[in-house]
Amino acid sequence: MLSYRHAFHAGNFADVIKHSVLVHVLDYMTRKDKGFHYIDSHAGAGMYQLQDDYAQKTNEYKAGIAKLINEQDLPELLQTYVDLIKALNPSDTLDLYPGSPGIAKRFMRRQDSSHLFELHPTDIQHLTDFSHRWKKVFIKQSDGYQGVLGLLPPPSRRGVVLIDPPYELKDDYQKAVTTIIKAYKKFSTGTYILWYPVVKRALVEQMANSFVNSEIKNLVQIEFCLSADTDEYGMTGTGLFIVNPPWQLAKQMDKTLPYLKAKIGNENSTFKVEQLIVE
């Protein structure tokens, strides 16, 4: 299935969680001069137009990034993320929102390289156009799960892997976890970020149990839910499993998530930061 288009959801509350963490991780990686690999299993289009028909049809960004863009009292982790979005939108209108490749591009240096995988025929073309003149970026229209495993370990022994599937198929939940477990065996010092939607709690619990029963060490789980779990259709929350996170990430999220509940959540919203597996 290739029906999912992130353009409908760009800049929503789930993107705020996912991309603020990605910004923090990439910023942390650039604090050392040695180069690193950025590997994105489901890269999408690279950049999204918030004023086009896709985004305007759902207006999800208005309940996400739009509520933060003009705030003055942002926690440090959110400030870095919002500053990046502002740099893309120098006027007063919120026109552009970056996908994960758009964020990565802002951090890549001459010594770093990016490897982007995308299967959707329209998005791969948008991604290719977006990456024009981006040096040391490699784009493939192929299976991102296999693509990740084929690139590990990177020559630099430094890397960030983002696995962000659309979860159109239930198999994606376990397939994403299995990919990271296999990747960890090849490259145990890499930082792995796995995004997931909270649609059916049992699927998230299965993911967590698979990680706990693996050989992986140092795994943090971050979750932000707008409403309680339900058997009805739709995403109630979002989360990340992060292997080998920057050492201050959990502390930063302890400050960030309560702020996000106040700004983009409601009285029924919940959040957590949990060291699921110790180092």
Tell me the DSSP string of 165-181: ----STHHHHHHHHHHH
Average of per-residue pLDDT across 230-257:
95
How many domains in the chain?
1
How far is Cα 176 from Cα 171, in angstroms, rounded to an integer?
8
What tokens were used for 118?
A: 């995308």
Domain with 140, as residue range(s), is 6-277
pLDDT bracket for residue 2 (50, 70, 90): low
How far is Cα 153 from Cα 189, in angstroms, rounded to an integer?
9
Mean pLDDT of the chain: 94
Strands 113-117 and 37-40: parallel
In this prediction, residue 260 carries a pLDDT of: 98
pLDDT bracket for residue 91 (50, 70, 90): confident
In this prediction, residue 4 carries a pLDDT of: 54
Average of per-residue pLDDT across 139-159:
97
Within-domain flag for 1: no
* % of the chain residues with pLDDT over 70: 97
Cβ atoms of 216 and 39 closer than 8 Å:
no
Within-domain flag for 44: yes
Write down the pTM of the prediction.
0.96
Residue 172, domain CATH = 3.40.50.150
Q: Which of 155, 146, 211, 158 is nearest to 32 (CA)?
A: 158
pLDDT bracket for residue 192 (50, 70, 90): very high
Tell me which of 77-81, 91-95, 105-109, 177-181 is least confident: 91-95
Within-domain flag for 240: yes
How far is Cα 170 from Cα 174, in angstroms, rounded to an integer?
8
How far is Cα 65 from Cα 10, in angstroms, rounded to an integer?
9
Active-site residue set? 164
Within-domain flag for 161: yes
Question: Residue 182: CB partners within 8 Å, gap ≥ 6?
Answer: 149
How close are the terminal C-alpha atoms of the chain, in Å? 37
In this prediction, residue 170 carries a pLDDT of: 87
